[in-house]
Amino acid sequence: MNFLLLYNAMYTGGIETLILRMTNWLVNTGNKVDLLLQTQEGELLQNLNPNINLIILGKNPDVKFLYKYYNNEIRKDYNVIYSYSPSKTWMAMLIGEKCFVYPLILNGVYHMYDYTYFANFYHRYIFNKVLPDSNKVFMTPKVQTEHEKIFNRKIHNPFIWPLPIDSTNFINIKRNPKKYKFVSIGRLENFKTYNYTLLDIIKNLINLGYDASYFIYGTGINYDLIKDRIFELKLENNIFLKGTIPYNQFSVVLKDAFAFIGMGTSVIEAGLCKVPSITAIAYSKDPITHGLIHELKDYNCGELEEKWALYNIEDILIKLIEMSDSEYELLCDESSRILKSQYDLDILMNVFVNEICTLDYKKSPIQVPLPVLYVLFLQVKTMLSKLYQFLKKMFYFN
């Protein structure tokens, strides 16, 4: 089959690593894959399979897309078109309209508030009113229910498809856990509040007599905030900001980790690495969790479930510290075994292919409102913003 995937860029993140895994699997199983990106940016570009055909929009991506679309510069033989971003779903639909045989159009949703924080009025209209519910792919049931709240309606018969992880990457990992060493890996974004709230927990553990250390791998908008808090707590010798690591080094930095704290792809992969992995909760102002990733139901990997029990992350870390060696080793093995059964790449990709091959009723034309006025609106908005910044700067210096 011929696949077209659409996203923004290839920086290190959950969706980006998902694209790597999906495209590698699809190419290795005999499929053709094109990847349309908004910008040719990101550390993971170099990790893409060389057999993937890249389509880059570049500056003014919406205008560039319409130019390519109306000049027939995009192929017309796709069987499946998969958008990972609210800003790309309308493009996926337009490309589908020109295909020789109408393809299956899918929009994957991997954030509880995707269509609140990362979508504008047009994106929300396309998702809610134009894209059929059966063409919506949600990472977890919780992500679906949150979007039902966003749009104030029931979403009928979507495809629930969790994050597929290549568990073969962790088969031969040799662990030598260093007690009291805790690790987090991922971008330092606003919704990943645990990187900040954990700083006080590390301080508390040290005050309790534990030689705790916390290694934070990643960069992002909260880097300076976390750095300042580390200095404020005088924890420079216990908490270390290590920056972004190459994706293929993920398991390497976890060889001696005693516990992991995170959400999304990283917490699943850490659990597969036989590291007890505490699932942080997105946007939480407090250091709370529903528990270890392999203990959670419904593929939950960081979403708040109102009816589930909540625990303080500090209490779970202390419980892990106080375990006997045999209890700890049993927990590590159990984590890997359970997560492999839930998230294995081969299992889930075969589920995905079987789903798209058998649900032909989803392959029906979807009429997309002409987006010219929308794109024009974006250009005017951008111009006005630049004019405002120019005038603000000019009057400031005067």
Q: For 28-38, write each residue's pLDDT tens digit.
A: 999 999 999 99
Check if the beta carbon of residue 217 is closer than 8 Å to that of residue 188: no
Q: What pLDDT is stored for residue 169 in this prediction? A: 87
Between residues 381 and 2, which one has the greater pLDDT?
2
Q: What pLDDT is stored for residue 374 in this prediction? A: 81
Share above pLDDT 90 across residues of the chain, in percent, rounded to a whole number? 82
Amino acid occupying residue 274: K
Q: What pLDDT is stored for residue 371 in this prediction? A: 81
pLDDT tens for 237-283 read 999 999 999 988 999 999 999 999 999 999 999 999 999 999 999 99
Q: Is it the case that residue 80 has pLDDT exceeding 70? A: yes
Nearest in space to 176 (alpha carbons), one of 270, 255, 253: 255
**Distance between CA atoms of 183 and 65, rounded to whole angstroms?**
41
Q: What pLDDT is stored for residue 364 in this prediction? A: 61
* Highest CATH level, class, for 167-343: alpha beta
* Highest CATH level, class, for 2-164+348-383: alpha beta
Query: For the range 71-77, what are the long-range contacts, defined as Cβ-Cβ under 8 Å and sequence gap of 24 or more?
Result: 72/98, 74/36, 74/98, 75/2, 75/4, 75/34, 76/100, 77/2
Q: What pLDDT is stored for residue 29 in this prediction? A: 96
Q: What pLDDT is stored for residue 381 in this prediction? A: 74
pLDDT-derived band of residue 390, with 50, 70 and 90 as boundaries? low
> What average pLDDT does the segment 216-222 reach?
95
Q: What pLDDT is stored for residue 396 in this prediction? A: 61
Check if the beta carbon of residue 167 is closer than 8 Å to that of residue 133: no
Q: What pLDDT is stored for residue 211 in this prediction? A: 96
Nearest in space to 158 (alpha carbons), one of 138, 173, 176: 138
Q: Is it the case that residue 235 has pLDDT exceeding 90? A: yes
pLDDT-derived band of residue 27, with 50, 70 and 90 as boundaries? very high
Check if the beta carbon of residue 136 is closer than 8 Å to that of residue 115: no
Q: Is it the case that residue 164 has pLDDT exceeding 90? A: yes
> What average pLDDT does the segment 76-87 reach?
96
Q: What pLDDT is stored for residue 386 in this prediction? A: 74
Enclosing H/E stretch for 385 = helix 372-397
Full-model pTM? 0.89
Buried b (16+ CB within 10 A) or exposed e, 142-165: bbbbbbeebeeeebeebbebbbbb
> What average pLDDT does the segment 122-141 reach?
94
Q: What pLDDT is stored for residue 172 in this prediction? A: 82
Q: What pLDDT is stored for residue 392 in this prediction? A: 65
Q: What pLDDT is stored for residue 377 in this prediction? A: 73
pLDDT tens for 324-360 read 999 999 999 999 999 999 999 999 999 999 988 876 5
pLDDT-derived band of residue 365, with 50, 70 and 90 as boundaries? low
Q: What pLDDT is stored for residue 194 in this prediction? A: 96
Q: Is it the case that residue 232 has pLDDT exceeding 70? A: yes
Q: Is it the case that residue 383 has pLDDT exceeding 80? A: no
> What average pLDDT does the segment 138-151 reach?
97
**Distance between CA atoms of 334 and 331, rounded to whole angstroms?**
5
**Distance between CA atoms of 397 and 106, rounded to whole angstroms?**
50
Question: What residues does CATH 3.40.50.2000 cover in the chain?
Answer: 2-164+348-383, 167-343
Check if the beta carbon of residue 71 is closer than 8 Å to that of residue 43: no
pLDDT tens for 241-253 read 999 999 889 999 9
Q: What is the mean pLDDT of the chain?
A: 92
Q: Helix or strand or coil: residue 243?
A: strand
Nearest in space to 141 (alpha carbons), one of 25, 307, 270: 307
pLDDT-derived band of residue 25, with 50, 70 and 90 as boundaries? very high
DSSP 8-state symbol, 127: I
